[in-house]
Structure 1
Amino acid sequence: MSAATIRDPTRLRVRVSGAVQGVGFRPYVYGLATRYGLAGFVVNGPEGVTIEVEGNRAPEFVAALPLEPPPLARIDHISVQRTRALAAQDFSICASEDGRLSTRIVADAATCRQCLGELFDPENRHYLYPFVSCSHCGPRYTIAEQLPYDRRNTVMKAFRLCAACAAEYADPASRRFHAEAIACPICGPRLSHGVNAIVAAIARGQIVAIKGLGGYQLLCDARNQDAVQRLRSRKQRPQKPFAVMVSSIGRVNEIAEANAAELALLESVARPVVLLASRNDLAPAIAPGLSRVGVMLPVAPLHHLIFHALHSTGAWLAGAGPVIVATSANSCGEPLVIDNAQALRRLEGIADLVVTHDRDILTRADDSVLSVVASRTQFVRRARGYVPDPIRLARSVPVVLAVGGALKSTVTITRDNEAFVSQHIGDLDTAEGICVFEQTIHHLTSTLDVEPVVIAHDMHPNMASTRFAQASGRALVAVQHHHAHAAAVIAEHGHAGPALALVLDGHGLGSDGGNWGGELLLCEGTRFRRIGHLAPLQMPGGDRAAREPWRMASAILQALGRRHEIGPRFAAQRQAGRVSALLDQAGGATTTSAGRLFDAAAALLGVASLQSYEGEAAMKLEAMVRRTEIFEAGWTIDRGVLSLRPLFSRLIADDLDAADGAGLFHGTFAAACIDWVGRAARRTGVNTIILSGGCFLNAVLADEIERGCRSAGLTPLVPRQLPPNDGGLSLGQAWIAALQTAEQPSALKGAT
């Protein structure tokens, strides 16, 4: 462009914030500026992208800027100011600037259609290369050390670009311009074993570990019952369901029923696991006793290559394509494996073949899991493909670190008007889990370039996350568990004013030191008041009752005056006689937990007396539901206390089978909750109802309560961007602590 083409001295400085680095945004700007005949420059900086454009069509450029950004870009804000014209001659892309960071990295993305086309094009230099990517796809968050997101700040700095890759990397017209994960067979990462070896092992019924985007995965033939059972045995995972992967969206209906919303979710760039109604066409050991199966599509080029080779073997039934188990590579209770040496050591007894490669993973990111409930998307686990996308807050707040709970752990850091919730970390009951938890905190604070002024934590003193907070030496804010559940939804929706919160959960330490879990709270600002709860129920054996549903069923029988039935009903349990004696003793543990009611119902109906993973009994009970029914006399409400004792009397009737009982329990419990919150709304004048807690992962219960609230003229608010379980706790903690810090900063010095 020559200076003669610039007839108007207009020069505009444009600042763009959001997810605009590492997504092809600068070449997009370059192309747009060229289209409008403008001079100037574009540069990545600490706050996002800065653009200066000069020429008579500069206003048109600004108007067009947000209209067609690259697929992975997310524009949060555009600011424009006029500046002095420099009579510039051309438009250029400048090197990144350093400074205090306020931009962000985007989440890892599934292979795009263009790269997929190249992967299977014999004439392309990326033909059958398992690490092909561009600015529209591939790893991001899992390979980034820090911002700005440049190759020098990623693990890709270990790979020197060949001439062909260097040319694409430097060409603003290429979709690989500054695509930091750019690589090819000449200069990029390499697998330790070829695709043919992987496929041969799967076809033989063996278990293969491969290094995925966010960690190692275990693969096997999902139609091979022996292979799946062997995987269960080796992984020490006797019942918990496995996710499966199919080659394309057209193959989904071979194994599951999916509506348009679920299919769209499967094909989204995040490529999550989506829970679908199962057709029972897989090995029975995939999801024992459940009606839904977790399904996903290929995420990385290696997945596509594996399926391409599997299809080529022809070893499948006519009309049925290959389906593979795709589960995280770890033993039960351990963090996801990401390191090559660790994989070879820890997976030796699990996988028959371990496939490594030499591109490091810096940040673990397990597969995200979602479902469609009441025509909306609901997270079960939020990780790869969605993290580190922030949650927008209603206002700017101080920098807070919230450390979550003990199960399904996440951490949250607030920065300005955004909350960055980490990927799913897992349970903090092992030394390895706590180490990953601490690494996640360090990585998140480092990449966001912030220093927390306060740490928020759960009230429970024995959680590893609480101990971490207390050892930090920083100001602390303790947030009650169920208040945090409610606050997470309030923060996500930007709700101002009071709200009633129905929190149906497994366990959380109450303000009175008790075991809470089925709570009706009145929330306003940073405070809450407990205005109702489920009727307390004994927990014979304490925490052991959460792992053995028959114990909670025994407590129900005791409460109904039918203690004599405990022994005959649960004769297979050696401790049945002792539990009867425990129930007669005063001063034993009690709970208001909604989760324990599900356990009791499952045991009484013969669905599950023991459980090998959290929520197993409730999930199997949900799977039994064919239709819901309401037992109109099934509950009582007295001074805010909801009792389902009449319902349980009906559940143990001889004329009720398990399926009818499951439908009756779900329908009646939902109706009781709607009555409960309706009465509270009339009493308080508050019509906004927060619905949260782990029990809301139950699709039947969630749908019935949400629809019932709307029918009653109430406004339900549900988690949309986070799970309703403990994966959302840290956001709620962060929001309460941030508000307290903003309102009373001096009071937080040394606060506990």
Structure 2
Amino acid sequence: MKKFNMCPSCKREYDDYGDRRYHAQPVSCRDCGPTIKLCDSTEECMDDRNIFTYCGQIISEGKILAIKGIGGYHLACDAMNTEAVRRLRQRKIRDDKPFAVMVKDYETANKYCHISPFERKLLESKEAPIVLLKLRDRGMLPCMVAPGNPYLGVMLPYTPIHLGLINAIDSHMLVMTSGNKSSEPIYYRDQDAISNLQDIADLILIHDREIYIRTDDSVTREVLGKEYMIRRSRGYVPLPLTINLEGKVLPRVLACGGELKNTFCITKGDDFYISHHIGDLENMETNKSFEEGIEHFKNILNTDFDIVACDMHPEYLSTKYALTLNKKVYFVQHHHAHIASCMVDNNLSGEVIGVAFDGTGYGEDGNIWGGEFFTGGYRGFKRAAHLEYIKMPGGDMAVKEPWRMALSYIGNSIKDNYGKNQDDDGINIEGDTFLRDIDYKAIRTIELMMERNINCPVTSSMGRLFDAVSAILGLRNTISYEGQAAIELEYLALDSTLEVVEPYSISIEHKNNVYIISTKELISDIIRSVVNGEKKADISLRFHESIAEMVLCCCSRIREASGLNRVVLSGGVFQNITLLKSCIKLLKNNDFEVFYHEKVPSNDGGISLGQAMMACMDNID
């Protein structure tokens, strides 16, 4: 605010210790404070006093508006206007991923969503995050807002501009999505927004208060009466997590995080400062944002670092950055960092049983991990169990096309060369399952790749297992955003009417002091359920319960061998609340102490904290 010189009236309030605005840094008025203006692609401006009325009018007519906030630009349209929402999806090239909405107040949100007292507390908190709420009726909103989703991300206005706009439209509900192009970080500089958003937004609403650093909206939800963070950013950052290590002096560490949903973490004394959400490090602009963010934190904290912690994956850009700093580098295995982050989140010390379920993480053996059980603590973890390795035909393409993983799992489970003919029970794989929707030549190509082991890395990923089951049920053969197949599989389970849920079979073998979890029976049983005409919602729920039973079985065997009784649940797959709740219930019913995330995301947005803690403990004075 230093560029805005106070007028005599505001200066008088600022200097009067008896005034409620005494030394209030943002004190200003219409005469001396920030101003707003409306621009089109030619940068012609409108800045009269009726700007909100005009913006409300054009939004109500179906136009798309780019809006400058306090952490960057949003793209907004009337959430009740189906054509406007469709146009926003088309222009932003965002096919299916749900949009968040901003509503006028709690009462408006309550008309559309079920809101518990705790969810209301989150919604109305000073942090003003996006809160995931259960829709009362999916038909109350245009399906284009959150396609096929029983939940809606809702936030309240947190700036005067937002409030002025929301009051100017009849629906009192705006779609609010990040102002950027696909894969790029949110725009926060005016010229960048004008240059890059003119093909998406019809008009751009700008104010002249500079945004110092870009910051996305935070996203959170309630799980079993606790906050369960999904994206920790605006409103929560840069408040630190303070770790009490009984007077031990911690080294100064920079932890660089992972590749997706990147955050970094800087330590100063007992405080661990996790950054705002950076995003996926896959282009120059996001990498620049990552490096600028680190310098920004160093400046505001007046600190530096002696040790750099990073992921073991040699191709992660965050790892490559760490290696350029000419500092001592500490490599942390991806899933070890997940478990450590959840331990810090719950203020745990000592050793635990760690369950890390996600999509991709570079393993100590060079394979792709993601369905892991560990024992240990901050000074190191030992792999105790994992899903059996399965081929990923085409590598990363198997993530984008889940039918490839389905074919791989079927080939691992059904006899006769990936089920080209029939299995022992007479099930015709090509005729009875999802494969009827896939071109035969494509199927045969993938079969040959797996037979000849061409571009087929192996994985123990739980995320890929969820993808495979989603494809087998015919839900999703290709995805348009990360985790889509697994997300839709979870939402399908919510439609089940089963009163008694019978899990599918899973077998566990003990080899070389590690438990190997076989999915052969599981996949075979699911295929039989499809062929026998079971409801897909019931199959999905049975699958979820099977994974929860698997977690209980593995943890029970590990407890018997190790004596450990505390179980820590982390990784992006545990954003699946159906699975998370089932695991917690089963484990607690069998006398385990169970810990899951609250203040830090279970996804890759939290691993920088785990990296920082493990680096500190390994280098502690």
TM over 0.5, yes or no?
Answer: yes
* 8 Å Cα contact 2:57/2:168 also seen in 1: no
Is 2:445 the counterpart of 1:578? yes
For 1:329, give the aligned amino acid.
Answer: G
After superposition, residues 443-592 of structure 1 pair within 5 angstroms as 443-561=296-414, 562-564=418-420, 567-568=430-431, 569-574=434-439, 575-586=442-453, 588-592=456-460
* Counterpart-to-counterpart distance in 2, 1:622 and 1:292: 12
The residue number in structure 2 matching 1:61 is: none
1:228-283 deviation per Cα after TM superposition (whole angstroms, max 9, x unaligned) = 11111111111111001111101112222221111111111111111111222111
Is 2:208 the counterpart of 1:363? no
1:714 to 592, 607, 619: 592
Structure with larger Rg:
1
2:524 to 649, 667, 670: 649
CA drift at 1:175: 3.2
1:61-81 deviation per Cα after TM superposition (whole angstroms, max 9, x unaligned) = xxxxxxxxxxxxxxxxxxxxx
1:77-110 deviation per Cα after TM superposition (whole angstroms, max 9, x unaligned) = xxxxxxxxxxxxxxxxxxxxxxxxxxxxxxxxxx
For 2:396, give the aligned amino acid.
Answer: D
1:380-427 deviation per Cα after TM superposition (whole angstroms, max 9, x unaligned) = 101111111111112252110001000000000011111000011100
Q: Which runs of 5+ in 1 are unaligned?
A: 1-155, 312-320, 744-752
The residue number in structure 2 matching 1:36 is: none
1:688 to 556, 566, 576: 566
For 1:183, give the aligned amino acid.
Answer: S
For 1:299, give the aligned amino acid.
Answer: Y
Moved more, 477-486 or 281-290: 281-290
* 8 Å Cα contact 1:222/1:228 also seen in 2: yes
The residue number in structure 1 matching 2:251 is: 398
Is 2:112 the counterpart of 1:237? no
* Counterpart-to-counterpart distance in 1, 2:31 and 2:503: 71
* Counterpart-to-counterpart distance in 1, 2:169 and 2:81: 14
TM-score, normalised to structure 2, is: 0.91
CA drift at 1:630: 4.3
* Counterpart-to-counterpart distance in 2, 1:661 and 1:161: 65
* Counterpart-to-counterpart distance in 2, 1:183 and 1:474: 45
CA drift at 1:375: 2.0
CA drift at 1:160: 0.6
CA drift at 1:524: 2.6
2:8 to 151, 159, 163: 163
For 1:703, give the aligned amino acid.
Answer: K
* Counterpart-to-counterpart distance in 2, 1:174 and 1:378: 40
The residue number in structure 1 matching 2:65 is: 208
After superposition, residues 563-642 of structure 1 pair within 5 angstroms as 563-564=419-420, 567-568=430-431, 569-574=434-439, 575-586=442-453, 588-625=456-493, 626-627=495-496, 630-639=501-510, 640-642=515-517
For 2:438, give the aligned amino acid.
Answer: Q
1:180 to 25, 28, 43: 25
CA drift at 1:536: 1.3
Moved more, 597-606 or 734-743: 734-743
CA drift at 1:674: 1.4
* Counterpart-to-counterpart distance in 1, 2:331 and 2:378: 15
The residue number in structure 2 matching 1:328 is: 178
For 1:174, give the aligned amino acid.
Answer: D
Question: Are residues 171 and 634 of structure 1, via their aligned partners in 2, closer, same or farther at CA, if it must alter by over 3 Å?
Answer: farther
* Counterpart-to-counterpart distance in 2, 1:605 and 1:218: 35
The residue number in structure 1 matching 2:46 is: none
CA drift at 1:633: 4.9
Is 2:583 the counterpart of 1:705? yes
CA drift at 1:673: 0.9
SS of equivalent to 2:175: strand
The residue number in structure 2 matching 1:139 is: none
For 1:282, give the aligned amino acid.
Answer: L
Identity percentage over the alignment? 37
* 8 Å Cα contact 1:392/1:492 also seen in 2: no
SS of equivalent to 1:294: strand
* Counterpart-to-counterpart distance in 2, 1:525 and 1:729: 13
Q: Which runs of 5+ in 2 are unaligned?
A: 39-50, 421-427
**Structure with more contact order per residue of length (Cα contacts < 8 Å, sep ≥ 6):** 2
* Counterpart-to-counterpart distance in 2, 1:303 and 1:391: 30
* 8 Å Cα contact 2:503/2:545 also seen in 1: no
The residue number in structure 2 matching 1:310 is: 169
* 8 Å Cα contact 2:504/2:525 also seen in 1: no
CA drift at 1:685: 0.2
* 8 Å Cα contact 2:503/2:542 also seen in 1: no
After superposition, residues 19-168 of structure 1 pair within 5 angstroms as 156-168=1-13
Question: Are residues 171 and 642 of structure 1, via their aligned partners in 2, closer, same or farther at CA, if it must alter by over 3 Å?
Answer: farther
CA drift at 1:711: 1.1
* Counterpart-to-counterpart distance in 2, 1:336 and 1:346: 11
* 8 Å Cα contact 1:504/1:694 also seen in 2: yes
Question: Are residues 192 and 641 of structure 1, via their aligned partners in 2, closer, same or farther at CA, if it must alter by over 3 Å?
Answer: same
* Counterpart-to-counterpart distance in 1, 2:261 and 2:543: 27
TM-score, normalised to structure 1, is: 0.75
* 8 Å Cα contact 1:369/1:381 also seen in 2: yes
The residue number in structure 1 matching 2:424 is: none
SS of equivalent to 1:268: coil
The size of the alignment, in residue pairs, is 579
For 1:465, give the aligned amino acid.
Answer: S
* Counterpart-to-counterpart distance in 2, 1:334 and 1:186: 37
* Counterpart-to-counterpart distance in 2, 1:635 and 1:735: 35
Is 2:599 the counterpart of 1:731? no
CA drift at 1:174: 3.0
* 8 Å Cα contact 2:241/2:272 also seen in 1: yes
The residue number in structure 1 matching 2:290 is: 437
For 1:563, give the aligned amino acid.
Answer: G
* Counterpart-to-counterpart distance in 1, 2:492 and 2:60: 34
For 1:410, give the aligned amino acid.
Answer: T
Question: Are residues 357 and 632 of structure 1, via their aligned partners in 2, closer, same or farther at CA, if it must alter by over 3 Å?
Answer: closer
* Counterpart-to-counterpart distance in 2, 1:643 and 1:177: 67
* 8 Å Cα contact 1:563/1:580 also seen in 2: no
* 8 Å Cα contact 1:607/1:658 also seen in 2: no
* Counterpart-to-counterpart distance in 2, 1:463 and 1:182: 45
The residue number in structure 2 matching 1:77 is: none
For 1:430, give the aligned amino acid.
Answer: N
1:350 to 158, 177, 200: 200
SS of equivalent to 1:324: strand
CA drift at 1:715: 0.9
2:557 to 670, 679, 688: 679
* Counterpart-to-counterpart distance in 1, 2:474 and 2:144: 20
For 2:231, give the aligned amino acid.
Answer: R
The residue number in structure 1 matching 2:547 is: 669
Is 2:152 the counterpart of 1:293? yes
1:637-656 deviation per Cα after TM superposition (whole angstroms, max 9, x unaligned) = 11111223322222222222
* Counterpart-to-counterpart distance in 1, 2:29 and 2:507: 67
* 8 Å Cα contact 1:215/1:338 also seen in 2: yes
CA drift at 1:632: 4.2
RMSD: 1.5
* 8 Å Cα contact 1:394/1:491 also seen in 2: no
CA drift at 1:331: 1.0
The residue number in structure 2 matching 1:147 is: none
* Counterpart-to-counterpart distance in 2, 1:683 and 1:216: 53
1:253 to 102, 110, 119: 110
